[in-house]
A and B are shown apart, each in its own frame.
Chain A
Amino acid sequence: QSALTQPASVSGSPGQSITISCTGTSSDVGSYNLVSWYQQHPGKAPRLMIYEGTKRPSGVSNRFSGSKSGNTASLTISGLQAEDEADYYCCSYAGSSTVVFGGGTKLTVL
């Protein structure tokens, strides 16, 4: 169970789009469509933004979208807004009832 790899930081200006990558292996991201993404603001619990790779829970803006290709999943945020500034974590099922998180990406809205 090795942590999924995410860039430490990304940034963008309001209105722009950014993409955060999440690289795993053929034992986790590459084998299952069970990838989720979480947004975490300081002092708060993580919030589910994307599940099953591409699906949005009710209440999550359609500016957030997910995709997957091979062993890499991605989260795209379009029309960046100031409130999107937060830490983002990917998460993947890794087989045998185990789960692995990514190291996290700090999004800065310039």
Chain B
Amino acid sequence: ETGVTQTPRHLVMGMTNKKSLKCEQHLGHNAMYWYKQSAKKPLELMFVYNFKEQTENNSVPSRFSPECPNSSHLFLHLHTLQPEDSALYLCASSLVGPIGELFFGEGSRLTVL
């Protein structure tokens, strides 16, 4: 079981659709992250929110739009995606501070047709 819950677990969308991925944590953490894991590639950090403030954006295309309304919830809004955006999108959270443990959710498997 995990303290980080991601929905939906699977999503298929067309290139013109708009959809959102949701992440929720009940661990009392204040930092939340979005990672992308493509087939046979390392995990790529996309965004970091620290106390609801975006502190990292690793040159992610604007078709990915994050939102962090509070410390427990994180969204990734998707629009006009490309087939190469198909991947496993992982949310993680951690306590404030540079060390410790990243707690990951089980991921949302996205397929763009």
A and B: real partners? Answer: no
